[in-house]
Amino acid sequence: MPQTSSLPPLPRARTHPFDIPEQYALLRGEAPISRFVWPNGVEGWLVTTYDLIRTLLADNRLSIDRAGNMPPSLAIGRKPVMMPRSLVAMDPPEHTLWRRLILRDLTPGKARAMQPRIEQLTRHYLDRMREQGPPADLLAGLAFPVPSQIICDLLGVPAADHQFFQRQTQVRSAVDSTPDEVDEATVVLTDYLREIVAEKLRHPGDDVLSHLGQETVDGKPVSAEYVVGMGMLLLLAGHETTASTIGIGAANVMGDEDLIRRLQSPGGSEAVVEEILRMHSIIQYGVTRRATADVEAGGVTIRAGEWVTCLLASGNRDESVYRCPHAIDADQPRVPHLTFGYGVHQCVGMSLARVELNVVLRTLFTELPGLRPVEPLERMRFRDDMFVYGLHELPVTW
Ligand code: HEM
């Protein structure tokens, strides 16, 4: 779509792959809610400070329901993708009912119970990397397969299928995929899940899809299409995010003796992982809502119908909130970061993601403390143009 807007374009240029665009710091100081035009030609408000992001994500006049409208996006020429309905298209009170059903399988206790399996998978993939390397690609060898197998376990789908949906998910989230490729990947994934769900409804197992299939909402059985929608959301939301954070977190830790020692020490990995999550908020362009009424915030009026994007990555670097915003400082006073979002849609998988990140990074740097990149960071390919930031590959040696 040609850009006819008089607004400035969304700031995107990074001076270092671990830093967010410099302009966000100026915006936090001078215009924390301001209007930009996105690469797809859609205009919207950009929110850059920690407090305003939390205020707006807690405001029920901002809706997540896109209802067929094209939101601001990095991808040019896309039409709204027809997906089975799920949590990320629902506002309360509808959202509250359905979210409760999925939360049961993702409590902190359930996530802790998955730790032995995550440890087993991590050791398995690390052993394979060691047999075949050095060098090895840490992303393909470890960071992607562990979270995607865990999603297979959660959903009760064959572990062998993880490469198939990893590929389809990547097509969907790549900004340079054509609209037809995105549509095709969506159809292929939906059809795959429809078959799996039909089987789960006939022969329930002990997994999220089977549990959902046996639930009722308002006295009515949950429809197969809703179970498909939730399965799709978990597939898409649950592995690329965690895998990219493992990759960029490992790249940041390599060669830093203090961080490696902390990761290795009993109980020491949590603070490092929280800082990795804060520093590298991999949902790089944040979360988007649409105003359903006029909303006054930060000295501006957001009109009904306008788009609002909360830049979680910028809120996580807010100098008025963090002592050391632009580096990993595991000793700084703990202020909850925004990487998992805020408000009613805050990530349901965050406990699981935290266990995965702690296990994988702790094991990796305990087993291979001398891990180092094969080439300088500046020469590596980063996912600047994708919804989920991170590295495309991370060739390492040890
Ligand atoms: C480092 C890893 C992860 C990050 C950074 C992340 C980030 C996020 C963010 C920012 C949101 C809020 C979206 C919004 O407000 O519009 C979200 C929601 C969600 N995430 Fe995650 N996520 C991660 C891992 C996971 C995992 C492992 C799962 C599943 C097992 C998962 C499932 C979901 C679901 C289902 C939602 C929608 C919740 C709702 O709308 O109520 N995520 N995630």
State which ligand 1 atom lies nearest to the alpha carbon of 102. 35
DSSP state at residue 19 = S
175, 386 in Cβ contact below 8 A?
A: yes
258-261: long-range pairs with CB below 8 Å, 24+: 259/328, 259/330, 260/365, 260/369
Structural domain range at position 228 = 23-397
Residue 105 lies inside a defined structural domain of this protein: yes
Distance 356 CA to ligand 1 centre (A): 14
388: helix, coil or strand?
strand
CATH value at residue 234: 1.10.630.10
Residue 15 lies inside a defined structural domain of this protein: no
CA nearest ligand 1 atom 39, residue = 345
Four-point Cα dihedral 90, 299, 71, 19, nearest 10: -100
Place 353 in a pLDDT band, splitting at 50, 70 and 90. very high
Using CA atoms, how far residue 316 sits from 34, 40, 224, 335, 396, in Å, is: 18, 26, 38, 10, 28
Which among 327, 331, 324 is positioned nearest to 276, based on CA atoms? Answer: 327
Verify whether ligand 1 is closer than 6 Å to residue 349 (CB atom): yes
* pLDDT, the chain, mean: 93
State which ligand 1 atom lies nearest to the alpha carbon of 341. 10
Verify whether ligand 1 is closer than 6 Å to residue 89 (CB atom): no
Which among 358, 137, 376 is positioned nearest to 255, based on CA atoms? Answer: 376
Structure-block tokens of residue 38:
């996105």
Residue 10 lies inside a defined structural domain of this protein: no
Verify whether ligand 1 is closer than 6 Å to residue 33 (CB atom): no
307-310 β-sheet, strand order:
33-37, 43-47, 307-310, 287-291, 62-63
Q: What is the mean pLDDT of residues 281-289?
A: 95
Distance 184 CA to ligand 1 centre (A): 24
Which among 157, 43, 144, 131 is positioned nearest to 356, based on CA atoms? Answer: 144
Residue 16 lies inside a defined structural domain of this protein: no
Which among 6, 4, 19 is positioned nearest to 378, based on CA atoms? Answer: 19
Residue 2 lies inside a defined structural domain of this protein: no
**Residues 289-340: pLDDT tens digits?**
999 999 999 999 999 999 999 999 999 999 999 999 999 999 999 999 999 9
Distance 2 CA to ligand 1 centre (A): 32
Residue 183 lies inside a defined structural domain of this protein: yes
Verify whether ligand 1 is closer than 6 Å to residue 315 (CB atom): no
* HSE, side-chain direction, 13 A CA sphere, residue 153: 19
Using CB atoms within 10 Å of the CB of residue 269, give its burial: 0 to 12 exposed, 13 to 18 middle, 19+ buried: buried
Distance 164 CA to ligand 1 centre (A): 21
Place 159 in a pLDDT band, splitting at 50, 70 and 90. confident
Residue 167 lies inside a defined structural domain of this protein: yes
**Residues 229-275: pLDDT tens digits?**
999 899 888 889 999 999 999 999 999 999 999 999 989 999 999 99
Verify whether ligand 1 is closer than 6 Å to residue 54 (CB atom): no
**Structural domain count of the chain:** 1
Residue 6 lies inside a defined structural domain of this protein: no
pLDDT of residue 1: 46
Distance 233 CA to ligand 1 centre (A): 9
pLDDT of residue 308: 98
